Amino acid sequence: MTTVTSVHEPAASLSGTRRARPRDRWNPAPRRTPYTFIAAAVLLFVAVYVVPLGYTVYLSTQKTQVSGRGLGPGARQQVSAGFSNYATVFGDGEFWQSVLRAVIYGCILIPIMLGLATLFALILDSQRVRFQRFGRLAIFLPYAVPTLIGSMIWGMMYLPGFSPINSTLHALFGMQGINFFGQRIVFLSVANIGVWGGTGFNMMVLYTALRSLPQEVYEAARLDGANERKIALRIKLPMIRPAVIMTAIFSTIATLQVFNEPYAMHQIAYGGVSTSWTPLMTVYQDTYTANNVYLGAAESIVIAVMMFVLSAAVLRITNRQIFGGEAR
């Protein structure tokens, strides 16, 4: 007698085995994994940014009051001041003059620095340029010098009695000595230090963006008869727009934060640069020289808000007008 075996039995048994397995339980571990990786960064951000910012906001609403009630004559205690420190800041003409000087300094520095950085990046990215490694190193090298040291070097070169610049101009053209610490020319003197130190960094950012572009686009443009100048202006610059906007925003933020360059000028030539020449120098003077940490905290918050507004304005202007796009 022949035994007939159904061909569906293995499948049936297999399906039965699958049905017999218990249902997989929901495992929350994969969902928690990304938060575990970013936990350290979030904690560091909160510790070094959010907490100091919150404490600064708190200090800006406080003041010192002299009281003798139960504390002895002439005792000082910290009390709430409301928004009186901010009212003092908004009514301080010296503070707003320092802001105006920083704006003038930025209007001189940013176009020259970013213009030179873009030009150097395009030149180094060209196929016809030789010694590209040496060029990158030579342009970037001033950025490696600490800002305060570079400012002191340039400050010594600006001194009337020791300036090699004045000696060279007098020997070649018979010109009299230039007062680099004059009321107006001091803006060019300080901006020159910023251009010397910041061009290399911005050049490397733009050069890196250029090197990341696909080479096929250049080859297609050359086949269509475009020369290097047209490729640079019509292809390279529009394609590195995000990098240019980023350097413009960083440069704008650095403008209101400038401190080392004018502070070094003040130490070298007293009277040429005042102790409140920039907003941060004003904060330093009120906090440490005048020993009013609460007013300095209020000035710091005002500067932070101005940097945020100015950066947003620069982002909108550069994205719309310079490159012809719409701000997003």
Amino acid 328: pLDDT: 41
User: pTM of whole model > 0.75?
Assistant: yes
- In this predicted model, what pLDDT tens digit does every residue of 125-169 receive, in sequence order? 887 777 778 888 899 999 999 988 999 999 888 887 788 888 887
Question: What is the helix (H) or strand (E) element at residue 36, kind and residue range?
Answer: helix 29-45
Could you identify the residue written with the tokens 């009514």? 91
- In this predicted model, what pLDDT tens digit does every residue of 159-172 receive, in sequence order? 877 888 888 877 77
| Summary mean pLDDT of the chain | 83
- In this predicted model, what pLDDT tens digit does every residue of 8-63 receive, in sequence order? 455 444 444 455 455 556 566 667 788 888 999 999 999 999 999 999 999 999 98
Task: Please report whether residue 237 resides in a domain.
Answer: yes
Instruction: Report the candidate in 299, 287, 288 with the shortest Cα–Cα distance to residue 96.
Output: 299
Task: Please report whether residue 50 resides in a domain.
Answer: no
pLDDT at residue 327 greater than cutoff 80:
no
- What average pLDDT does range 78-82 have in this prediction? 86
Q: What is the CATH number of the domain that holds 113?
A: 1.10.3720.10
Task: Please report whether residue 38 resides in a domain.
Answer: no
Which tokens belong to 12? 């049936």
Task: Please report whether residue 26 resides in a domain.
Answer: no
- In this predicted model, what pLDDT tens digit does every residue of 245-276 receive, in sequence order? 889 888 988 888 899 999 988 888 766 788 89
In sequence order, the 6+-apart residues with CB closer than 8 A to the CB of 274 are 266, 281
* Structural domains of the chain, count: 1
Q: Determine the Cα–Cα distance for residues 162 and 183; give it in Å rounded to an integer.
A: 20
Task: Please report whether residue 18 resides in a domain.
Answer: no
Task: Please report whether residue 255 resides in a domain.
Answer: yes
Q: What phi-psi label fits residue 225: left (phi over 0), alpha (psi between -120 and 50 degrees) or beta? A: left
Q: Could you list the residue range(s) of the whole structural domain that residue 208 is in?
A: 92-322
pLDDT at residue 2 greater than cutoff 90:
no
Amino acid 252: pLDDT: 87
